[in-house]
Each structure stands twice: as C-alpha cells, then as structure tokens.
Structure 1
Amino acid sequence: MSTLAKLWTVEDVATFLGVPVATLYQWRHHRTGPRGHRIGRHLRYVPEDVMSWVQDQE
C-alpha cells in the first residue's frame, strides 16, 4: 500500500514537468511521454519513472 501512496496523478506530473495536462495526454497517445499506469479508470505515474524519462530527454 505504501507504493500506491507514492504514485503521482496526471496533475502532479504536469506540475512537476511544467506542462499542461493536455500535453501529457497527447504524449501518452503518441507514446512519447513518461510511462503511465491505469489503475481502474485512473492514470497514475511512478515518480522514479517520470524522473528517469526526464533524464533520458537530456
């Protein structure tokens, strides 16, 4: 359960990256953004995956 508490929402990731939420959904559609996971009908991100994706973009 502690792992689930650490997951980020789309809004969290958008704030962290400084991009609009719509951009994250576009990236997801084109499979170019950080890896997200569906939990039920909710989209969540593992913070370490997001940070790794950012490093890969440099």
Structure 2
Amino acid sequence: MDATTQVTPTFLTQHELSELLRLPERTLEDWRLTHTGPPNSKLGRHVRYDLQDVFAWAREHRHG
C-alpha cells in the first residue's frame, strides 16, 4: 500500500456488530446509552459502527 492509497471505512450495523462480538444487540444498546461501548455514528436515524474504531476500542479494553 502506498501513501496515496486510502482505506475506506467499513461501517457495521448493530446486528452485524453483535454477531461479530457475539453479544446480544441489547448489550450494544445499553452501552450506547451509557457511553461505555465502542464509538458509534448516527447517520440519520441509523446507528453505525466503524470497524477500525471497534477494533481500537476492543484493544483498549483488553485485560492481561
């Protein structure tokens, strides 16, 4: 990859993220309301999660 190549963000729906993390969608909703989960964006009335932000959030919350 050279300096002119841009990485296109991949946005996931709540359902897609819940499957990826193997968590209930309700957990993601609770985290969103309490601002404790992965960063998210509101596009109109749709919530989306940038995959790279989710990976960064998961790395920050690792134990050990």
For normalisation by structure 2, the TM-score amounts to: 0.80
RMSD: 1.5
The equivalent of 2:5 in structure 1 is: none
Q: CA deviation at 1:20?
A: 0.3
The equivalent of 1:31 in structure 2 is: 35
Q: CA deviation at 1:21?
A: 0.3
In the TM superposition, structure 1's runs of 4+ consecutive aligned residues that sit over 2 Å from their partners are: none
Distance 1:18 1:31 in 2: 19
Q: Which has the higher strand share?
A: 2
Instruction: From the CA coordinates, give the structure whose radius of gyration is larger.
Output: 2
**Percent identity at matched positions?**
35
Q: CA deviation at 1:8?
A: 0.5
Q: 5+ unaligned residues in a row in structure 2: which ranges?
A: 1-7
Q: Which has the higher helix share?
A: 1
* 1:23 counterpart SS class: helix
